[in-house]
């Protein structure tokens, strides 16, 4: 183990994680509390760096914070069975498969909307007509639930209300 210590800004730079996110992970217990200097500044060890890299990689793969918490608990007990980790990964794979199906339906809907639009006036624009139809009668598939979930995530990010990374 390295004796090197990191200030929070250094840890953020090395991992590509925002300072706010590191503090959030500490607050919710994913990261252990760091040591403090006499001036009350956080000092992180290699252990913190490794754990944050694990969390960051898990988030990049789409794992929820609850799943990451489970995976970290398992990682803290290296002699245990990996069956639980496999189950968590399988759940994530199922969620990815579902999202792919939803995105495929959305893609098909956009392709159809665009292909039937003749490029004339807005009053005849098929894209505008489909989007304005609140009954969704012009839609090919029931893609709206997944689209709403995805757009809610985008809206939260746009509004700055999403959880950090």
Do 15 and 55 lie in one domain? The reply is yes
Q: State the pTM of this model.
A: 0.72
Mean pLDDT confidence for 131-160: 60
The reported pLDDT for the residue numbered 142 is 67
Asked if residue 57 belongs to a domain, the reply is: yes
- More confidently predicted of 101 and 121: 101
Contact of 58 with 51, CB cutoff 8 Å: no
Do 55 and 104 lie in one domain? The reply is no
End-to-end CA distance of the chain: 28
Do 54 and 89 lie in one domain? The reply is no
Q: What is the pLDDT of residues 49-99, one digit of tens each?
A: 999 999 999 999 999 999 999 999 999 999 999 999 999 999 999 999 999
Range of the structural domain that residue 14 is part of: 8-63
pLDDT for 130 beyond 50? yes
Asked if residue 72 belongs to a domain, the reply is: no
Do 37 and 95 lie in one domain? The reply is no
pLDDT for 33 beyond 70? yes
Alpha helices in 39-139 (DSSP H): 46-60, 65-75, 83-116, 126-132
The reported pLDDT for the residue numbered 146 is 52
Asked if residue 91 belongs to a domain, the reply is: yes
Look at the chain and report how many structural domains it folds into: 2
**Residue 77 main-chain phi, psi, to 5 deg:** -125, 75
Asked if residue 41 belongs to a domain, the reply is: yes
Measure the CA–CA gap between 15 and 164, rounded to whole angstroms. 14
Do 155 and 88 lie in one domain? The reply is yes
């Amino acid at each position: 183990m390295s004796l090197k210590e990191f200030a929070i800004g250094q840890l953020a730079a090395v991992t590509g994680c925002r300072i706010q996110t590191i503090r959030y992970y500490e607050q919710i217990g994913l990261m252990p509390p760091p040591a403090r200097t006499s001036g009350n500044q956080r000092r992180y060890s290699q252990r913190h760096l490794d754990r944050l890299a694990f969390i960051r990689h898990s988030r990049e793969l789409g794992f929820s914070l609850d799943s990451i918490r489970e995976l970290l608990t398992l990682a803290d007990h290296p002699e245990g069975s990996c069956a639980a980790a496999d189950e968590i990964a399988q759940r994530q794979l199922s969620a990815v498969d579902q999202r792919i199906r939803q995105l495929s339906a959305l893609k098909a809907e956009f392709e159809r909307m665009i292909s039937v639009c003749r490029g004339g006036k807005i009053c005849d624009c098929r894209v505008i007509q489909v989007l304005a139809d609140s009954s969704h009668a012009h839609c090919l598939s029931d893609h709206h639930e997944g689209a709403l979930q995805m757009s809610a995530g985008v809206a939260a990010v746009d509004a700055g209300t999403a959880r950090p990374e």
